[in-house]
Amino acid sequence: MSRSPGRKQENHKISRELFVLTYGALVAQLCKEYEKDEDVNACLDRMGYSIGIRLIDDFLARSAVKKCRSYSETVDMIAQVAFKMYLGVTPSVSCNSVTGNEFSLILDKNPLVDFVEELPAERASLCYCNLLCGVIRGALEMVHLAAEVSFLQDRLKGDAVTEIGITFLRKPEDRRHRR
C-alpha cells in the first residue's frame, strides 16, 4: 500500500493538536487542585524540568548538533533547532545584557495557547506555559548549564509578545590547557 505524500504532515498536526488540548486539560486540573497560581506555576515548572532532563537525550540524538561554545550559540540552538523540532515554531533571540548571559526568546506564535483565548480574571498571576521554562531549565542543567528561566511577557496577560527570559548563572569557563 502506498501512502499519500501529505499524510505525515496531517498526522503531525493532529498529534500537536492533541498535545495542546491535553496540556490545556492538565493546566485546568492543576487549577482545580491548587488554589494559588504560584502553586500551579511551581508544579508546571517541576513537570517541565522533569521533561527537560529526559528530552535532552532525544534532542541530542535526533539533531546531531555540535557542542556550543558560547551562551549565544546555546540560545540560538534552543530557538532554531529545539523549538522548531518540538513545537514547530522558531522564536527570535535577543541578548539582554552586556555580559552576554541574559537572553530572551520572543515567540510570535505559541502553539501551547492555540485553544486559549485569555486567562480568567481570578487566575491573573497564572503562568499558563510555565512548563516550557522548566523544560529549558532541565535540559540546560543536563548539559551542565545552570540557568534561571521565566516568562517576561505573555500574550495571555495582554502583553504584545510572549517572551521567555534565560539567565545563565555561571560565567563561561575557558577550558583550554587546564590541568
- Reported as a single tens digit per residue, the pLDDT across 2-13 is 455 555 555 555
Q: How far is CA 104 from CA 18, 19, 49, 51, 151, in A?
A: 28, 25, 19, 21, 9
Domains held by the chain: number:
1
**129 three-state secondary structure:** coil
Residue 97 has pLDDT above 80, yes or no: yes
Q: Which three cell numbers stand for residue 75?
A: 540560545
Residue 87 lies in a domain: yes
CA angle 156, 138, 61 (to 5 degrees): 110
CA distance 110 to 55: 19
Domain that holds residue 96: 37-118+125-168
101-137, pLDDT tens digit by residue?
999 999 998 989 988 988 888 999 999 999 999 999 9
**94 three-state secondary structure:** strand
CATH code for position 50: 3.30.1380.20
Mean of all residue pLDDT scores within the chain: 88
Residue 176 lies in a domain: no
